[in-house]
Amino acid sequence: MTERGEGLKHGLTNYGDRDFSLYLRRSFARSMGYSREMLERPVVGIANTGSGFNNCHRHFPELLDAVKRGVLAAGGLPIDFPTVSLGEVFLNPTSLKYRNLMSIDTEEMIRAQPMDAVVLMGGCDKTVPAQLMGAVSAGRPAVMLVAGPMMTGRHKGERLGACTDCRRFWARYRAGDVSAEEIAEVEGNLAVTAGTCAVMGTASTMACIAEALGLILPGTAAIPAVHADRLRAAEATGIAAVNLIGSAVTPERIVNEKSVENALRVLLALGGSTNAIIHLTAIAGRAGVTVTLDQLNRLSDTTPVLVNLKPVGNGYMEDFFAAGGMGALLRELKPLLHLDCVTVTGDTLGERLDDEIGAYVDRTIIASRDEPFEPQGGLVALFGNLAPKGAILKRSAADANLFEHEGVAVVFSSLADLAARIDDPTLDVRAEDILVLQNAGPHAPEAMPEAGYLPIPKKLAQLGIKDMVRISDARMSGTAFGTIVLHVTPDAASGGPLGLVRNGDRIRLSVKNRGIELLVDDAELKKRIAPVPPEMEKPTRGYAKLYAEQILGADQGCDFAFLRPQ
């Protein structure tokens, strides 16, 4: 044993002779130029998800150096290793399909390789939940370092940030408001630095949730990717990882019912991404903690929206950081939080917040609880015969005029059907209709893509229509906005009632009653058979087969059944 931890002796390769295994491992490690003294140190593994297919992580080489510096300074030996990396816009059909693959990779490589603690370097949307799911299951001391958000770009005097402004400009381009030349110019100014999307999208929401859970260092969720503080946070994360060695503060202990409830409060107060509810459900599930949509509604009723960032408000993540960041938000939420939750520093959340009393807050970005931006949480769960196990609406990013709405369904049976017909000038659709997309949920081959933000049909967009009620079993990007009902569960491809909706059916949405009802009587529904689009064939090999056999619904975080604790 080293002074703390087992170092390289951890989990020896099995050659039937333990001493030989250690001798061989040391010999091969020395081939990389390490001294024998260095190899006696406790080992901190660093899960490095830098990848040429992940623009958000392009500064990871520099961050990695800073983490290593911290580990070395604290007396550990830093050894980085690659895992699957998920660059949101580079994956087909969607990154969510590979989140569980990345979590398996992370868990198994933490467990299989000799490390006493691990630093998880993630950031882009699915990488944070994948790493946290894997780390909770692996049960080794772990601390996360997030990439940090991008800085904003400029276009004609206006600030631009991926990706709320991407969608805003694209909608204007579709409506004929913006020329092809201008949209090309905007394209070059939306994502201008390393880091994750600049608004309170999924990546930023997950970073804030990681801080609320206590799995990253205090105050580090919102530091911009290119800020010197981000490098200092990386160094401090390396030190923290060494300090965790031998402690009982492991991720599956940090993630518990109380810390998960804190994270839900933060999600609601942020007006955060709808995706985060799926990811938090999956992370919590790995620790044996159940998140229900009833719980979300209960907390939503008593948690105000306190953060004024796009897509719900006006600011960007760089503003949130300058305004006081997560510390300011958590202090504002303090009476609603469980303060006895332990964090990766070994301090409780309450101790952390006591240390920060009196810190600066910009109230244009982070409101006080007495004067919130919205009196209730940003997300609300809906239930009804169309979604017996629930659906999600991000009310803070929706048009309140559509909250109590009854309309006629215009149905698309699949993503292919949607793409083929949404802009057809002969499509029979009016602004007060309800667009319904089927077979885009977790059990569909496209694996629940962020297609729930159905485009406004071109002929209506050109008339100036900006929002309509849209319903699907798909997800929506955390950077998107609109009156969009998502995650309808069970999904159509697993036999949910969403698959039974027909053109012309009436649907009633009531945010007040938390209801989403298909106004067709049961006898008629029993007669209907859900059509199976041709692209729904079951895969016969590889990861796609494993996915199809193991995937759970949105209500269980879209985890794989065999990965949850038995």
Long-range pairs for 547-553 at CB < 8 Å and ≥24 separation? 547/97, 547/100, 547/447, 548/443, 548/445, 550/100, 551/100, 551/442, 551/443, 551/447, 552/442, 553/389, 553/441, 553/442, 553/443, 553/489, 553/490, 553/491, 553/494
Residue 79 near ligand FES by CB under 6 A: no
Residue 203 near ligand FES by CB under 6 A: yes
Long-range pairs for 176-179 at CB < 8 Å and ≥24 separation? 176/462
Q: For residue 497, give the nearest of 432, 409, 424 by alpha carbon.
A: 409
- The residue from 100, 131, 196, 243 that contacts ligand FES (CB under 6 A) is 196
Considering only residues 51-70, where is the footprint of ligand FES by CB under 6 A?
56
- The residue from 197, 291, 307, 367 that contacts ligand FES (CB under 6 A) is 197
Residue 396 near ligand FES by CB under 6 A: no
Place of tokens 């949209």: 183
Q: For residue 499, give the nearest of 562, 389, 411 by alpha carbon.
A: 411
CA distances, 412 to each of 457, 519, 529 (Å): 12, 18, 15
Shortest reach from residue 196's CB to ligand FES, in Å: 4
Strand 404-412 to 434-437 pairing: parallel
Piece of 68-76, 197-205, 214-222, 319-327 that binds ligand FES (CB under 6 A): 197-205
Q: How far apart are CA 305 and CA 325, in angstroms?
A: 14
- The residue from 124, 282, 317, 492 that contacts ligand FES (CB under 6 A) is 124
Comparing CB distances to ligand FES, the nearer of 91 and 431 is 91
Considering only residues 157-176, where is the footprint of ligand FES by CB under 6 A?
162
Piece of 196-204, 391-399, 405-413, 425-433 that binds ligand FES (CB under 6 A): 196-204
Comparing CB distances to ligand FES, the nearer of 34 and 90 is 90
CB 422 within 8 A of CB 461: no
Comparing CB distances to ligand FES, the nearer of 100 and 205 is 205
Comparing CB distances to ligand FES, the nearer of 197 and 418 is 197
Comparing CB distances to ligand FES, the nearer of 221 and 239 is 221
Q: How far apart are CA 384 and CA 454, in angstroms?
A: 22
Shortest reach from residue 479's CB to ligand FES, in Å: 7
DSSP for 508-533 reads: EEETTTTEEEE-S-HHHHHH------
- The residue from 105, 107, 116, 125 that contacts ligand FES (CB under 6 A) is 125
What token pair was written down for 503?
A: 């053109």
Piece of 72-80, 194-202, 271-279, 511-519 that binds ligand FES (CB under 6 A): 194-202
Residue 96 near ligand FES by CB under 6 A: no
What token pair was written down for 2?
A: 């080293």
CB 446 within 8 A of CB 421: no
CA distances, 494 to each of 359, 443, 445, 534 (Å): 50, 6, 11, 15
Piece of 193-201, 244-252, 308-316, 348-356 that binds ligand FES (CB under 6 A): 193-201
Shortest reach from residue 542's CB to ligand FES, in Å: 25
Residue 480 near ligand FES by CB under 6 A: no
The DSSP H or E segment spanning 389 is strand 387-394
Residue 88 near ligand FES by CB under 6 A: yes
Number of residues that bind ligand FES (CB under 6 A): 10
- The residue from 89, 183, 427, 532 that contacts ligand FES (CB under 6 A) is 89
Eight-class DSSP state of 142: E
Shortest reach from residue 115's CB to ligand FES, in Å: 26
- Kindly list the residues in this chain that would bind ligand FES in the complex (CB under 6 A): 56, 88-89, 124-125, 162, 196-197, 201, 203
